[in-house]
Amino acid sequence: MSVLLTAKNLGKAFDSRPLFSALGFAIETNERIGLIGPNGAGKTTLLKILASELSPDEGEIVFQRGTKVGYLKQTPQFSEASTVMTTLLEGAHDPSDWTSMVKADELIWKLGLEKNGIHADSLVSSLSGGWKKRLALARELMRDPDLLLMDEPTNHLDVEGILWLEDLIENSSFSTVTITHDRLFLQRISNRILELDRRNAGGILSIKGNYTTYLEIKDSLMTAQETRETILRGNLRRETEWLRQGAKARTTKQQARIKRHGELSSEVGELAQRNVNRVAQMEFQSAEKNPKRLIEAKKISKSYEKNSFLFSQLDLLLTPSTRIGILGANGCGKSTLIRVLLGLEKQDSGTLFRSDQLKVSYFEQNRDILDPELSLMRTVCPFGDHVNYRGRQIHIRSYLDRFLFTSNQMEMNVGSLSGGEQSRVLIAKLMLEEANLLVLDEPTNDLDIATLNVLQDCLVNFEGAILLVSHDRYFLDQVSTQILAFPVTEENKKKGQILMFADLAQWEIWHDEAREEAESKASNKKSEQTKNESSKLEVKNSPVNKKEIESLAKKIERAESNHAKLVRECEQPEILSDMKKLTEIGRRMKEVESEIEDLYKKWKTLEEA
């Protein structure tokens, strides 16, 4: 393996807030690096520095000559009125080169865009968040990167998209650095973990292996570090007692001992800081009254199109002990189901019961409800300086301290907080509400792993019911006692068939079998179509049809032969280096392609006649 880049003594701060300093590491070929760390540690900033979009305050990045870097931002930006094709060509070395067009077409096919009714001329503004994320990734792949940097690539992707991305990374030839808090995704795509945290020696910890290996080694390191702190504290106590006896620094030995005391004190202080493990304190407020039956749905159905259901004949019972995880592709109807259950939208058929004592707290993944210009304190506590939490008046600063916000952040505008910190703000607001039903729509987006663990335990211990929509499969599996899955095949989608599973493992087995069955049917259908098309080539009984079809067949054969010659011609080295000739050949190829398309249309018309 060769080194793609080397980071030397990197340091960065914003205003008076230092993010990291003196960082040093290298990235080699064939590495799949997972970049993790607490919210606000500077992971996105570090990625921007590696992508040369931001300059470090100190230190430098040294790239191997010719290294090409791609960068998938957390929130990709697109030009106004851009199409799928123009967006892809933004990543091309030479957008006017016909080979770039060919590569873009290939990526459109690999992305699965055409299968979902999206073509080269589709406007990017018409795409969902998940398809925009796939398109932005394809734009970076157009650069043929040696190193691809990705910031939370699974955000906005549904489970199908995440599985697709896992497969893409696994089969790629380039190295990757990925910021993600999705632990199952991290486990499957990483062969090295970089943890950015000021508590680590040197500010960064590098561990070869996947996420499980990281957890094992990290635990051993923390245990050893805590043991060392205990031992050094004992040594420091004895040295302090010796100093208190009034020892005079007259001899060289005594001077060395006094110096050693200072070094011990400094090392103990540094270890104590590293060993502090502050985690957010979360506890949702259960309503005082929890009826045995919160919501009951019997044979409910909902459709927006004729002969196609979002869900059909669904039975569902929510009691205080119910914790249901909802899995499904983007746009499949998850949000509609929740709205129907809560009475915000009417079902087409079936009956719904909702308790009069139902109290709902709703976490929405869209952070647009946060005013970016409002301070952190005023966002959570609009009036006064106390909040009512679990029947007690708590000062807003103490309350926000539970969510790991520092005193310097209290007056900061919410818009200047990181994505994970904004998610913690939404959770802090939600915890002030009493509820016997929590509805959580993608609550895990951007939360660091430590906070995810706390939130996970908090939900497991919640006394009410939970409806959880999440594409974080590990989190979903840990919190849910049942998984409600929307269909993955087109046939079942039309029926609105929703299935219930005991856990994620059961769902994965079903999902793989359903996919294999769908692919098998598609393959059989394609074989049948090919067979039918071959049979159409047989000469019709009509002498006119026979002559015309034979004539068209010869024309098509000649046209395709001409096209093949042009393809071979443009692959010649002397042509590739001559842009004028290459452009002319490209023009002629398009003319021949148009001719072939017209000939096949005439053939089809004759066959139908």
pLDDT in tens, 572-607: 666 666 666 767 777 777 787 788 877 777 777 766
- Confidence at 41, pLDDT banded by 50, 70, 90: confident
Residue with token string 């004895």 = 238
* Among 33-42, 225-234, 397-406, 523-532, the least confident range: 523-532
- Confidence at 27, pLDDT banded by 50, 70, 90: very high
- What's the rounded Cα separation, in Å, for the pair 491 and 32? 37
473-512 pLDDT tens trace: 899 999 999 999 988 777 777 777 888 998 888 888 888 8
431-465 pLDDT tens trace: 888 899 999 988 887 788 888 888 888 888 888 99
Nearest alpha-carbon partner for 149 in 246, 233, 45: 45
- Confidence at 338, pLDDT banded by 50, 70, 90: very high
Strand, coil or helix: what is 355?
coil
Question: Residue 468: left (phi > 0), alpha (psi -120 to 50), or beta?
Answer: beta
Residue with token string 């707290």 = 361
Buried b (16+ CB within 10 A) or exposed e, 98-129: bebbebbeebbeebebeeeebebebebeebee
C-alpha atoms less than 13 angstroms from C-alpha of 348 in its C-beta half-sphere = 17
**Looking at residues 226-237, what average pLDDT do you find?**
74
Q: Would the pLDDT of 213 be above 50?
A: yes
Residue pair 413/378 in contact (Cβ under 8 Å)? The answer is: no
> Which pLDDT score, from 0 to 100, does residue 539 have?
41
C-alpha atoms less than 13 angstroms from C-alpha of 206 in its C-beta half-sphere = 10
Long-range contacts of residues 270-275, Cβ cutoff 8 Å, at least 24 apart = 271/225, 271/228, 271/229, 271/232, 272/229, 273/199, 274/199, 274/200, 274/201, 274/225, 275/199, 275/222, 275/225, 275/226, 275/229
Measured CA distances, 50 to 312, 356, 446, 535 (Å): 49, 55, 20, 58
Residue pair 360/486 in contact (Cβ under 8 Å)? The answer is: no
Count CB neighbours of 559 within 10 A: 20
Residue with token string 């050693």 = 260
* Among 28-42, 243-257, 290-304, 314-328, the least confident range: 243-257
**Higher-pLDDT residue of 238, 76:** 76
Measured CA distances, 457 to 301, 449, 453, 488, 495 (Å): 34, 12, 6, 30, 36
Q: Would the pLDDT of 372 be above 60?
A: yes
- What's the rounded Cα separation, in Å, for the pair 360 and 439? 7
Strand, coil or helix: what is 391?
coil
> Which pLDDT score, from 0 to 100, does residue 490 have?
72
Nearest alpha-carbon partner for 325 in 506, 579, 164: 506
Per DSSP, 363 falls in state: E
Q: Would the pLDDT of 45 be above 50?
A: yes
Q: Which two tokens stand for residue 397?
A: 């600063």
> Which pLDDT score, from 0 to 100, does residue 70 have?
95
Average pLDDT, the chain: 83
Buried b (16+ CB within 10 A) or exposed e, 384-415: eeebebeeeebebeebbbbbbbeeebbebebe
DSSP secondary structure letters along 485-540:
E---SHHHHHHT--EEESSHHHHHHHHHHHHHHHHHHHHHHHHHHHHHHHHHTSPP
* Among 49-63, 420-434, 564-578, the least confident range: 564-578
Nearest alpha-carbon partner for 472 in 231, 23, 156, 259: 156
Q: Would the pLDDT of 362 be above 60?
A: yes
Residue pair 229/275 in contact (Cβ under 8 Å)? The answer is: yes
> Which pLDDT score, from 0 to 100, does residue 347 have?
92
> Which pLDDT score, from 0 to 100, does residue 142 have?
92
C-alpha atoms less than 13 angstroms from C-alpha of 532 in its C-beta half-sphere = 9
Residue pair 425/380 in contact (Cβ under 8 Å)? The answer is: yes
Q: Which helix (H) or strand (E) holds 87?
A: helix 84-89
Residue with token string 């070395």 = 93
Query: Percent of the chain, pLDDT > 70?
Result: 85
* Among 14-18, 216-220, 343-347, 404-408, the least confident range: 14-18
- Confidence at 546, pLDDT banded by 50, 70, 90: low
Q: How far is CA 227 from the centre of its chain?
A: 37
Q: Which helix (H) or strand (E) holds 267?
A: helix 252-275
pTM greater than the 0.85 cutoff? no
Q: Would the pLDDT of 71 be above 90?
A: yes
Query: Percent of the chain, pLDDT > 90?
Result: 34
